[in-house]
Amino acid sequence: MAINKLALIRYKTIDDCLRNRFRKWTLDDIIEKVAQTLYELEGIASGVSKRTIQADIQLMRSDKLGYNAPIVVRDKRFYAYEDPSFSITKAPINNADVDKMKEIVGVLKQFNAFNYFDEMSDMIARLENNLYKSTNQSGNNIQLEGNKLVKGLDCIPPLYQAVLNKRSLLIEYKSFKAQQANQGIYYPYLLKEYRNRWFLICKAKKRPGILNLALDRIVEFQELPNEDFVEHRGVDFERYYDDLIGVTKSERDRAHKVILEFENYHAPYIITKPLHSSQVILTRNEKTTIFRIDVVLNYELEREILGFGECVKVLAPRNLVAKIKKRLNQASNLYYANNLEKNNVDGALDKEALDKTRPSL
């Protein structure tokens, strides 16, 4: 059964409502939310009927679309998923949808011949590979970097809509350092990915400055239609992260000239896969090649440098040299401490073995 666009919007909106555990949803609440979404996305101001939503819920419960949604009514009034982790977005794509998507991929491949579609090449290849794999026509012909254990990816579609429509959010967030999760109001501006981990770039209502919230640390969130959205003035997010490796940056941070010396054996790797778009070669001799990148000094930069181990030496700036040297010393001390501990353990075991071989007096 093929699904038209408006029906898909309704199903997705109902799904978003039932997954939201911050509030209880009556049928009237769901109808109001669906009508609001249809108006925002399609400009439909006529709303949606009660009968249509009831039919949608019944269809979602059935196997006709492959959803089999465990929708229950509690207290004879409130609709919810019996399984809180359920979502129709996790349901497999049906054959009709696969056929349609194959047609779309075919059209995209034709457009890809034009220069201004060059950036789509990777996305088109991924789509085509996944479609053929889903129909068992071939194995996995492209192996892409990814981590199936990463959490929070299911948050991307609704968060994207919140960014797009400039909606304030109530977010329950638990950082790595926090003992328990905390709720707060946030104004979302951007979704950013770094090394298979996604972040929401936003501003908290009660805190200054721009924050990045890791999606895998978001416990729950919901839109707040009655909370005015606060724009962040003075920041062009199209270019804000151009001088950055990673996501950690404050509005006061400025790029520094980072000078790195690599052994020539490893220099081709750095040349073919630049550390940053600003990368240039300063000098080259028989043994080493010196590169420069203009980036903000942050934790991600340090981790990138440390990842090259003994193959790189930081020449400037001086504060970065000091940080890298300190962290390398700490790493060295860790192994030194481990060796001492191992020697002590080995010595104790040798002593115990020697004692057992001595005759009793």
The enclosing domain of 79 has a CATH number of 1.10.10
Within a domain: residue 81?
yes
Torsion, Cα of 58, 61, 62, 66 (10° steps): 130
Same domain, 283 and 360: yes
What's the pLDDT band for 20 if we cut at 50, 70, 90?
A: confident
Q: What is the DSSP string of 38-86?
A: HHHHH---S---HHHHHHHHHHHHSSSSS----EEEETTTEEEESSTT-
Q: Give residue 4's pLDDT.
A: 77
Q: Is the pLDDT of residue 1 over 50?
A: no
Asked whether residue 147 is domain-assigned, the answer is no
Q: How many domains does the chain have?
A: 4
Q: Which helix (H) or strand (E) holds 337?
A: helix 318-357
Domain that holds residue 183: 153-223
Where does the pLDDT of residue 98 fall: very low under 50, low under 70, confident under 90, or very high at 90 and above? low
* Claim to verify: residue 79 and residue 16 sit in the same structural domain: yes
Mean pLDDT across the stretch 156-176? 90
pLDDT digits (tens, 9 = 90+) for 311-328: 999 999 999 999 999 999
- Answer whether residue 145 is part of any domain: no
> Can you tell me which residue has the tokens 């038209």?
4
Q: What is the mean pLDDT of residues 338-353?
A: 58
List the structure tokens of 67: 């959803």
Q: Is residue 232 part of a domain?
A: no
Residues 285 and 193 in one domain: no
Answer yes or no: do 82 and 176 share one domain.
Answer: no
3-state secondary structure of 172: strand
Rounded (5°) CA angle 105-111-112: 85
Domain end residue (candidates: 192, 223, 254): 223
Does residue 270 sit within a domain?
A: yes
**pLDDT tens per residue across span 117-161:** 555 566 666 666 666 665 655 555 556 566 666 777 778 888 998
pTM higher than 0.75 = no
pLDDT at position 11: 92
Please answer whether residues 13 and 34 qualify as being in contact, where contact means their C-beta atoms are separated by less than 8 angstroms: yes
**125 domain residue, yes or no:** yes
For 194-251, the pLDDT digits (tens) are 888 899 999 999 888 899 999 999 999 999 989 999 998 888 888 899 999 999 988 8
Q: Specify if 10 maps to a domain.
A: yes
Cα Rg for the chain, rounded, in angstroms?
28
Q: How far is CA 261 from CA 53, 280, 287, 312, 348, in A?
A: 64, 12, 10, 6, 45
**Does residue 360 sit in the same domain as residue 250?**
yes
- Tell whether the model's pLDDT for residue 341 goes beyond 90: no
- State yes or no: pLDDT of 108 exceeds 80: no
Q: What is the pLDDT of residue 282?
A: 96
Would you say 190 and 203 are in contact if contact means Cβ atoms under 8 Å apart? no
pLDDT(350) > 70: no
pLDDT category at 361 given cuts 50, 70, 90 is very low
Closest alpha carbon to 213 in 180, 245, 187: 187
Q: Are residues 200 and 288 in the same domain?
A: no
State whether 269 and 345 are in the same domain.
yes
Last residue of a domain, one of 223, 251, 273: 223
Residue 331 belongs to a domain:
yes
Instruction: Give the pLDDT of residue 135.
Output: 60
**What pLDDT, on the 0 to 100 scale, is given for residue 110?**
61
For residues 126 and 157, membership in a common domain is answered with: no
| Domain boundary, last residue among 34, 64, 89 | 89
Per residue in 275-324, pLDDT (tens digit) is: 999 999 999 999 999 999 999 999 999 999 999 999 999 999 999 999 99
Q: 280 and 193: one domain? A: no
Whether 213 and 171 share a structural domain: yes
Assess whether 271 and 190 both reside in one domain: no
Phi and psi based region of residue 47 (left: phi greater than 0; alpha: psi -120 to 50; beta: remaining)? left
- pLDDT the model gives residue 217: 92
- Is there a single domain that holds both residue 130 and residue 69? no
